[in-house]
Amino acid sequence: MRGLSCLLVFSLGIFIQVSYCHSSVTTCLPEKNAALFILGDSLFDNGNNNYINTTISYQANYYPYGETFFKYPSGRFSDGRMIPDVVAELAKLPILPPYLHPGRVEHVYGVNFASGGAGALRETAQGFVIDLKTQAIYLKDLKNVFSQRLGKAIAEDIVSKSVYLFSIGGNDYGSLLNPDSNLVLPPGDHQGFVDIVIGNLTDVVREIYNLGGRKFGFANVGPIGCLPAVRALVKNGSTCLEEFSAIARLHNAALSKRLYELEKQLKGFKYSVTDFYAIFSEMLNNPTKYGFKDPSVACCGGGLYRGDQSCGGNKGIKEYELCDNVNEHLFFDSNHVTDRASQYFADFIWNGNHTVTSPYNLKQLFQF
Ligand SMILES: *[C@@H]1O[C@H](CO)[C@@H](O)[C@H](O)[C@H]1NC(C)=O
Ligand SMILES: *[C@@H]1O[C@H](CO)[C@@H](O)[C@H](O)[C@H]1NC(C)=O
Ligand SMILES: *[C@@H]1O[C@H](CO)[C@@H](O)[C@H](O)[C@H]1NC(C)=O
Ligand SMILES: *[C@@H]1O[C@H](CO)[C@@H](O)[C@H](O)[C@H]1NC(C)=O
């Protein structure tokens, strides 16, 4: 039945045209077998942490999360969609389910493995999150399931044609923040720590390459010193914690360099890096251009910049504020962006020119 098109109706009532159905099983596959797999942290987690034994600090499955788009708290750390939801839409794929969702889903369009709080290092929030290495193990398990259900050839084809999109690193550096002294510690060897983070991220990229993956996308680490949660820690309260953002810049330089090397070393390896740091900084510096009011203040939370992590009122602090118009905000809560901001970011990932997304954008990766 190759070539036959089939129409799927998803629970959200979104209709998606896909290109063909597999004959032996009643499975529809994405165009060119190119699916989208999401790995990383809370910027991408769409509900995996709902299904693990963790604490509420790593979860967003309660009011007022999710109100804008899904109308229920799905576990996304946002008022509505997050970046991967919008990227999937741009790729004409359905919204991807969280991998740990207990329903029986084929995952042939891709799936989301990301986990809020996760880092590239196993030690980052260990025991409370699904670390990046475990996310890659889940991918390997899924490839085996594809082999059994669709045959080895199709499984191989899906793995090699699909795009693996990452957001990772920010949480690894969180351990360097010492709220007591308002300083980033230790003052010395940040480069050494960055190398360890990049080393572990490289290991995972190589594992996926060895599994057959060829197309890798990255949103690099943003200006983490400007998160409302971090600004709120700065005693004089008026600026971003520049030393913290500086570590993100070290990370981003090392990431780009490493990916460039991997492309030379690994046959068929292709990648895309979106300069999330630069786009984010641009939005912080020119908020009105994007329709945002004060970009330092979150929509949901309390205290300075609504940065006290109280959004939802169940992490120890009961009282919190919720803005009237979420669309005026870059940040939804103390650490995460709004649906509206995610639409901008996703567009840069998908369509961005060489200044922001290089050497390819995701649209080009999908076309290979
Ligand atoms: C969940 O984690 C807590 C604390 O780490 C532990 O005490 C508890 O036994 C765990 N529960 C399950 C069902 O694994
Ligand atoms: C990965 O991280 C661990 C610490 O979790 C570190 O000991 C190891 O050297 C890192 N691996 C690489 C390749 O950098
Ligand atoms: C406020 O804190 C920032 C970051 O720590 C620092 O660069 C700046 O000089 C401080 N400003 C004042 C007025 O203390
Ligand atoms: C690339 O995109 C950025 C961000 O939208 C824009 O500012 C810039 O002018 C573009 N550059 C080119 C060469 O089109």
Q: Of 84, 90, 86, 72, which Cα lies nearest the Cα of 46? A: 84
Q: Is the CB of 236 under 6 A from ligand 4?
A: no
CA pair distance 118, 197, nearest whole angstrom? 12
Going from the Cα of 200 to the center of ligand 2, the distance in angstroms, rounded, reads: 6
CA pair distance 73, 80, nearest whole angstrom? 9
The sign of the CA dihedral 104, 106, 111, 117 is positive
Bond before 97 cis per omega within 30 degrees: no
Residue nearest (by alpha carbon) to ligand 3 atom 11: 236
- Residue 22: the pLDDT is 54
CA angle 199/200/202 to nearest 5° reads 65
Bond before 64 cis per omega within 30 degrees: yes
Q: Is the CB of 353 under 6 A from ligand 4?
A: yes
pTM over 0.85: yes
CA 186 to chain centre: 27
Domain boundaries, the chain: 28-367
Q: Which atom of ligand 3 is nearest to the CA of 238?
A: 1
- Residue 104: the pLDDT is 72
* Residues labelled as active-site residues: 42, 333, 336
- Residue 176: the pLDDT is 87
**C-beta separation of 347 from 356 below 8 A:** no
Give me the tens of pLDDT residue by residue for the chain, a chain 368 residues long. Answer: 233 333 333 333 333 444 455 554 456 899 999 999 999 999 999 999 999 999 999 999 999 999 999 999 999 999 999 999 999 999 999 999 999 999 877 899 999 999 999 999 999 999 999 999 999 999 999 999 999 999 999 999 999 999 999 999 999 999 888 666 555 666 667 999 999 999 999 999 999 999 999 999 999 999 999 999 999 988 766 789 998 999 999 999 999 999 999 999 999 999 999 999 999 999 999 999 999 999 999 999 999 999 999 999 988 888 999 999 999 999 999 999 999 999 999 999 999 999 999 999 999 999 99
* Four-CA torsion 312, 317, 323, 328, nearest 10 degrees: -80
- Residue 105: the pLDDT is 76
CA angle 328/38/368 to nearest 5° reads 105
Residue nearest (by alpha carbon) to ligand 2 atom 6: 196
For a mutational test of ligand 2's pocket, the pick from 134, 173, 195, 196, i.e. the residue with the most ligand atoms closer than 8 A to its C-beta, is: 196
**Neighbour count for residue 158 (Cβ, 10 Å):** 26
Q: Quick one: fold of 28-367?
A: Rossmann fold (3.40.50)
